Amino acid sequence: MKSIIKLLFYLSLTYFANSEAQSASAEAFPLKLLGEAIEKGGLAGLNSYLDEGGKWPRITTDSFATKNKIINQIELVALSNRLVGLLRERAEEEPSSEINTLESEAMLFFALGEKLWRADGYRNRLVSLLCCDLASHRCGKIIILSRGKKMGPQRPDVFTVRNSGEMLKLFVKMIPENKGISESGLDDLLADAPVNGETWLEMIVAIRNIKLVESTVGNRFNEAVALPSSFLGSNIFKENIGALVFDYGWEQVMHESMLPALAVYLKNGGSLKTLLEEPTNATKFEGVMKNEIYHFSMNPVMSGIVNGDQIAGLVEAIQSPENLSQRLFGIKK
């Protein structure tokens, strides 16, 4: 009995000691460790650290942080920026020509992306999509090297979007992070009367037409509720829920439509040279694809089918670090 009481006493002391330690260092200690993990091991080091039980903090927008009194937002953003910097460096590197190397790199990007997505917060999720996009391009390189026989690693489920309704859910959920939109009451309106549409693009049109007190959503949030006008990488530094949702959906299109279409094209003997040199000449693309399914859907982002011109754009980005970096971060100054 004594030993049991001793054990309980020991456990309670340990618990309180740990709680106190965690409370005291809740802000500083994990960030320091995360920073060290990045400094020492780069992206792989960070991923290993997180696999071993390390936690990545929720990182949101500055306005949401201010509203919720997150006092270490500056440190959190600095940490996030350090990660974005590493991802950018990877985007600007020439991709390997070894399928094994590409596979492990894609797996790393996917794994990091999944963890960031689960860590939640506007900023985390956009960086997560950046990881997913980089992984997709490495998968694309695998498809090219294997002439469509290999597709690269599986994409984590968190990036799967089944329909435009799921994109709307994400949009509404993320609205509190955008001060302007959240204060307009749009989230309440959408909760009461969800918009319909086969694609996210159609939903954007419907959302833009919603009447607020003084004007429509389109007039008041002309840039935020529209097709994104900036690059995924630069959206991280803004508060643009619309861009996040669009980029999220686009990752789905990339994996479910464009990469498989590229694989089918190559498996059927399609020429990369033709694709790149005559990108608007859809006839040859269809000539190669017509015995297979070429009408890969652009849903849930927008209606339409994948064509040779779009695949050409993807191949340009897969094969050229400059194009990939430009696609993600814009033209380098």
Partner 1 sequence: QSLPELKVMMFVAEVDRTYRASDYADPEWAYRSTHLLSTGVSALINGGAIEQEELEDWLGLSELNWPAYPPVPGVIDLTLGKQKLSRQQDFPEQPPAGWGAWDLPPLEAVRGSFHFHSREVTVPDGGNGEEMSYLKYWGTHATKKVWVLLNRRLTEDLEVPFLKIATKASTLDYQNEGTWYEGAINEATKVTLGDPEVVKLTVRAGENVSETGVVLDPLEANEGTFENERRYDVDLLPVEVKEVWSDQITGVEANGFPDKTGPNEYPYIFMGANTATTFKVKIKLAAEIPAAVRSQILFRWASEGVLEEFLPESGISTFSDGTIVQLSSDFNINVGRERFLVWAFDENKNGQIDGFESEVLIKMQHVRRGATTSIPCKFIPITQSDYEDSKKILLDWASAQLIQIPLRNSARHLIAFCKGTVPIYSGSESTTIKRNESGLSHPIGVAFRPTNVPGISFKATISKDHDLSKKLIRSNALRIWLAGEFNSVADGIKNDIIQERRNGDPAALLSYSITAKEKSLAFGVVDPDLLFCLGKVTFENPTIDFKVDMYGFVSEVKVWGLANDLYDFDREGEEILGYPARKASEVQAGFPSLGVGGKVFKTQIDMGGGNPYDDPNLTPYTFFPY
Binding site for partner 1 (CB under 8 A): 198-199, 201-202, 204-205, 208, 218-219, 222-223, 225-227, 229-232, 250, 279-283, 295, 298, 301-310, 313-314, 316-317, 323, 326-327, 330-331
Tokens of 168: 């709307």
CB-nearer residue toward partner 1: 30 or 313 = 313
Hey, what amino acid is at 58? R
Beta carbon of residue 102, minimum distance to partner 1 (angstroms, whole number): 20
Measure the CA–CA gap between 306 and 295, rounded to whole angstroms: 6
Q: How many CB atoms lie within 10 A of CB 18?
A: 10
- Cβ distance to partner 1 smaller for residue 60 or 235: 235
- The closest of 110, 134, 124, 73 to 236, measured between CA atoms, is 124
Q: Which amino acid appears at position 129 of this protein?
A: L
211: which strand partners?
216
Nearer to partner 1, 25 or 280 (CB): 280
Q: Please tell me the distance from the alpha carbon of residue 177 to that of residue 234, in angstroms, as a whole number.
A: 17
Nearer to partner 1, 104 or 230 (CB): 230
> Phi and psi at residue 271, in whole multiples of 5°?
-95, 125
What minimum distance in Å lies between the beta carbon of 254 and partner 1? 9
Q: Hunting for tokens 């993320």 — which residue is that? A: 174
Q: Tell me how far, at minimum, the Cβ of 329 lies from partner 1, in Å.
A: 10
Where b means 16+ CB within 10 Å and e means fewer, 160-174 reads ebeebebbbebbbeb
Alpha-carbon distances, residue 142 vs 106, 129, 153, 157, 243 (angstroms): 10, 20, 10, 21, 28
| Closest distance to partner 1 from the beta carbon of 92 (Å) | 15
Cis geometry, peptide bond prior to residue 300 (ω within 30 degrees of 0):
yes
Task: State the nearest-atom distance from the C-beta of 27 to partner 1, in Å.
Answer: 36
Nearer to partner 1, 115 or 208 (CB): 208
Residue with smaller CB distance to partner 1, 115 or 255:
255
CB of 280 to partner 1, least distance (A): 4
Q: How far is the CB of 94 from partner 1 (least distance, A)?
A: 17
Residue 144, C-beta contacts closer than 8 angstroms, at least 6 positions apart: 262, 266, 272, 315, 318, 319
Cβ closer to partner 1: 121 or 249?
249
For the stretch 1-10, contacts whose Cβ atoms lie closer than 8 Å and that sit 24 or more positions apart, written own/partner, are none
Q: 26: closest CA among 62, 88, 76? A: 76
